[in-house]
Structure 1
Amino acid sequence: MKILLLGCGNVGANVARQLVPRHPSVEYVVADLNLEVAEKLAADLGSQVKAARADVLDPACLDALLDGVDLVFNAVGPFYRSAVPVIEAALRARVDYIDINDDHDVAEALYLDPSYQQRALEAGIRLVVGCGSTPGLSNVIARMLVDRLDSATEIHLATAVPFVPDLLSPAVVDHMMHITCGEVVQFVDGQYRKMPGWGGRLEVPYSAPFKHYPGFFIGHGETVTLPHCIPGLQQVTNRIGFIPEAGSKIWQSMIDLGLGSPEKIEALGISPLKFLTQHLSSEAGRKALSVDLSDEPWAVAMRVEVRGLRDGAEVCSVVEQHLQLPVEETDDSTADPTPTCARLFIEAYLDGRIRGQGLLAPESCVDAEAYVRAFAEETGATFIASETRVQGELFA
């Protein structure tokens, strides 16, 4: 078995750090556009790991890297640039593929175009897309709750994140602007619809120590794949908001000022988005955009709500995960749940526990209860579950 791990940034490197010691008989190649970074990671991991340079936008480079490989894991962001080129290479090479894509337009391009499923089946490979924490774990939690009902009609997801400029790396800002500017896909009244990014304001009722915070539409894969994989759904929405609300207001103002635009201003030789990513990484930017978090939890909340029927009664099932943020910078690969989520999917693949063929989503290819249980045991994560009879509108 030979696995190609593309991308040696935080997530990709930590997937490798978790995976290699657990599966020492597997042959690995870690690859990055920066060969020196890949070589350092390979040296840290041991003799069964080789390093290579990878340019995911160069088809010839990808074809050479995938030669003789059984599985490619893609952690190269932003995925709206990298996912489809690597998937096309995997199709050419007939190599199985797993990624942590978190961009809605990639999910649209793949799942709403039946040709990708057909091509993957013809190639005899699996393309498993969106296997991080959200999407990924979020989808699987939703599937778990759906499976506990007789039928499901609505799934609503929401995330609350502290507004901390130090956490807004250039890559995070690029991604966040991509999924909050312009139009984003939500599933409304049984149809995929384009909705205004950072629109659809709703007060989301998180559990203590969190409060109710406003959430806003984002473009994520869940709103594409969940209706695709789970029959009968009429509503699937996904929202995010910053803690406290002042952070969301700052983000709204940056969108309104056009700072999310990737179009270069010729007179300056830089795009508004490039300026913003650099400004938020500077001392001046961090100071100017800081907000008071003294009364807020130093944690991230992810909420999954599913509505449906059981024994003729309409119920609303909710699971929340609260993730404590590190007090100071750490190399601990469990501080961010995404590498653990991805590694669990790769291990399901290695153990023959990925179900289905062709183009797959997280909620369609693993045992949901077993996956969530494994994640909780591995990370010590706390999940808060509740279920109520629906009387009027709770969260839509």
Structure 2
Amino acid sequence: MRIVVLGCGFHGRGVAYEIAAAPGVETVVAADLNPARASRVASKTRGEAAAADLFDPDALDALLAGADLVFNAVGPYHRTARPVVEAAIRNRVPYCDMADDHEAAELLLLDPDWDARARAAGIGVVTGCGIAPGITGMLAKLGCERMARPRRVAARFSWNYSIAYPAAIHHFLRINSGLAPQFVGGALVRPGPFAEPETVRFLAPVGERRVYCTGINDPVSVPRSIPGLEEVTAKGCFHQEEANEFLEAMVRWGWTSYEPVPALGTSPFEALIAYLNSAQGRGRFDIAQEPVPMAIRVEVEGEDNGAPARLVFEGQDETRRGTTAPSAIVALMLARGELGFTGVRAPEGCVPTAGFFRALAAVPDVKLFEIDAKGEARPLAV
């Protein structure tokens, strides 16, 4: 198989390494706007390197020629999902990504035209295959499969702010800027930025964190993938309270707006991101990380055997593999034709839970747990 990985940043190159190590993969094409970065990744995968501008349709078409799958690892996805999915459809190449913002999910999953076009092209498009969304959606699916009448899904997460990854900060600023939907009462609602805070006690060593409504894919993708649910909510935060205060201040004072300001010569958001990416900005916006892993928690509530039921799952990841491993697992399933669909889906809408979690269990850096009614955790069993 010939797999094109677009984007050789922290997570993109991790996905490339995972895919390159898989049986049946002959060539991984590492593509990046920065040719030197692509070459460094290609030297490790023993594959090919290419320069890639996602907003150049002709260049994308040339890159995708002869590919068995394209993996889009370039964010922010509210800007980058559309051009790459367009190219995948034009070239009839299956598409996979780790998109983690609601705007990309709403674009691809709520507009039926994308599903129809992917079907007409004979390809599968799978969006949101990382840790949150991705593993969170698959845990929701697992819980719903174990319950006669699932009604509510709650996805919660906490993670480290790091100035070393300004793209991740860009993403989290955007999805918390007030546009994010939650699925409540069978419909999408938009409660606004930092709405409905609650305290969640994650497994040690993460512990208690104050989370708030946020804009990952799950409130869009999970109810579309699992019909009959009444509520799907997503709440998250940074581990560091100082980082959450920074996030809230930037949103409150309008720095997440893309509306151009003549005096700035650009939009407030683009000016802020440029500052974060600068040497001066990195010095001012550096916040010490907490020595704890990223944590996810998924609760599924409903009825089983005529009685109220509640299932709780958690996951922890101290490395990037919580994102790169599930992304590679789904991408390879899609490239091998194992998912058996055409159109647009989230992983929970097309990936078998047993095969997914068995593959993920082989990744020692990603720890998944199920928590019983007494609050005792044990390794996830499928």
TM-score by length of structure 2 reads: 0.90
Alpha-carbon spacing, 1:306–1:4, altered in 2? closer, same or farther (3 Å): same
For 1:50, which of 37, 48, 51 is the aligned residue?
Answer: 48
**Which runs of 5 or more residues in structure 1 are unaligned?**
325-333, 390-396
Which residue is 2:371 aligned to?
386
The reply to whether residue 243 of structure 1 matches residue 239 of structure 2 is yes
Q: CA deviation at 1:298?
A: 2.1
C-alpha contact 2:152 2:231 (8 A) present in aligned 1? yes
Q: State how many pairs are aligned.
A: 374
Tell me the equivalent position of 2:380: none
Q: Deviations over 1:192-212 (max 9, x none)?
A: 122213222122232333333
**1:311 maps onto 2:305 in alignment:** yes
Q: 1:81 — aligned with what?
A: 79
CA distance in 2, matches of 1:171, 1:244: 18
Q: Secondary structure at 1:183's aligned position in 2?
A: coil
Partner AA of 2:121 in structure 1: A
**Residue in structure 1 matched with residue 180 of structure 2 by the alignment:** 184
| Correspondence 1:258-337 to 2 at 5 A | 258-280=254-276, 298-324=292-318, 335-337=320-322
Structure 2: which amino acid aligns with 1:305? E
Q: 1:286 to 1:191 in 2, by over 3 A?
A: same
Share of identical aligned residues, percent? 35
User: Cα gap change, 1:336/1:231 in structure 2, threshold over 3 Å: closer, same or farther?
Assistant: same
Deviation at 1:318, TM superposition (A): 0.8
Shift of 1:232: 1.1
- The CA RMSD measured in Å over matched residues stands at 2.3
Q: Does 1:196 align with 2:192?
A: yes
Indicate if the aligned counterparts of 1:197 and 1:219 stay in contact, CA closer than 8 A.
Answer: no
Partner residue, 2:111: 113
Distance 2:226 2:38 in 1: 39
**What TM-score comes out, normalization by structure 1 length?**
0.87
1:175 Cα offset (Å):
0.8
1:257 alignment counterpart = 253
Q: In structure 2, which of residues 346, 355, 359 is the aligned counterpart of residue 370 of structure 1?
A: 355
Tell me whether 280-289 or 66-75 shows the greater mean CA deviation. 280-289
Q: Does 1:63 align with 2:61?
A: yes
Alpha-carbon deviations, 1:194-239, whole Å to 9, x = none?
2213222122232333333221111111111100011110110101
Provide the C-alpha distance between the structure 2 equivalents of 1:25 and 1:356, rounded to a whole number of angstroms.
21
Cα distance in 2 for partners of 1:31, 1:285 equals 28
Cα offset, 1:268, TM superposition: 3.2
The residue that corresponds to 2:39 in the other structure is 39
Q: Give the structure 2 partner of residue 331 of structure 1.
A: none
Q: Which residue identity lines up with residue 132 of structure 2 in the other structure? A: T
Does the residue aligned with 1:237 lie in a helix, a strand or coil?
strand
**Cα distance change of structure 1 residues 109 and 270 upon mapping to structure 2, 3 Å threshold:** closer
Q: Is the 8 A contact 2:14 2:321 kept in 1?
A: no
Kindly provide the amino acid, as one letter, of the partner of residue 378 in structure 1: V
Task: Give structure 1 regions of 4+ aligned residues with deviation exceeding 6 angstroms.
Answer: 290-293
Describe the superposition over 1:160-214 as per-residue Cα deviations: whole angstroms up to 9, x where unpaired: 124x4535x3211211111000221110100112221322212223233333322
The alpha-carbon distance between structure 1 residues 291 and 98, as it changes in their structure 2 partners (threshold 3 A), is closer
Matched-pair contact (CA < 8 Å) for 2:126–2:346: yes
- Distance in 2 between residues matched to 1:285 and 1:298, nearest whole Å: 25
Q: Could you tell me which amino acid in structure 1 is paired with residue 9 of structure 2?
A: G
Pairwise CA distance, 1:114 = 1.4
Instruction: Give distance in 1, aligned partners of 2:187 and 2:136.
Output: 21
Distance in 1 between the 2:291 and 2:27 partners?
Answer: 42
Q: Distance in 2 between matches of 1:304 and 1:202?
A: 14
